[in-house]
Amino acid sequence: MNDLLHRARDIRLAIFDVDGVLTDGKLYFLVDGSEFKTFNTLDGHGIKMLINSGVRTAIISGRKTPVVERRAQNLGIQHLYQGREDKLVVLDELLAELGLDYSEVAYLGDDLPDLPVIRRVGLGMAVASADAFVRQHAHGVTSARGGEGAAREFCELIMRAQGTLAAAQSAYL
């Protein structure tokens, strides 16, 4: 945990995958071909707290769906990239735009397309339900599964390392 806290101290941008991270990884299709996803409210509030603490946020997803755009807007996620298979290319574009270094980025993923980013950033984590190979190569693994509080745990780790978690929590007292 000390290594994770050390890595999380200088994070200025937190990036999330969607399927299997912000959701349980299941794809739900209706008869008409439309798609829906379920999101965890604890994860959502964790992301809002992280944004309020001054950390920028982004989503990079290989799939493209209107429900993810709506969720990102509802949470105030500043940067949304959908339908992008090469997540490392997106990361490089985003870092150039924001003037950030890899060491200032945290990423939470679950599957092989996430692995190049997980290995490149300052804090690359996997959810508990991630592919075993991805978990093996991540800096850390959440105790929660994707879509079941893993993003909240990730956000709180960053805020704890930066000394902003207690203030975020006490705002509700």
What sign does the dihedral 15-11-86-147 (CA atoms) show? Answer: negative
Per the annotation, does 10 bind a ligand? no
- The dihedral region occupied by 99, where left means phi > 0, alpha psi between -120 and 50, and beta the remainder, is left
Which tokens hold the place of 126? 């996997």
Which tokens hold the place of 119? 């290995």
Per the annotation, does 131 bind a ligand? no
Are 94 and 111 contacting, i.e. CB atoms less than 8 angstroms apart?
no
Are 36 and 23 contacting, i.e. CB atoms less than 8 angstroms apart?
no
Instruction: Report the greatest alpha carbon distance in the chain.
Output: 49
Per the annotation, does 19 bind a ligand? yes
Q: Which residues are annotated as a binding site?
A: 17, 19, 110
Q: Which residues are annotated as a binding site for substrate?
A: 19
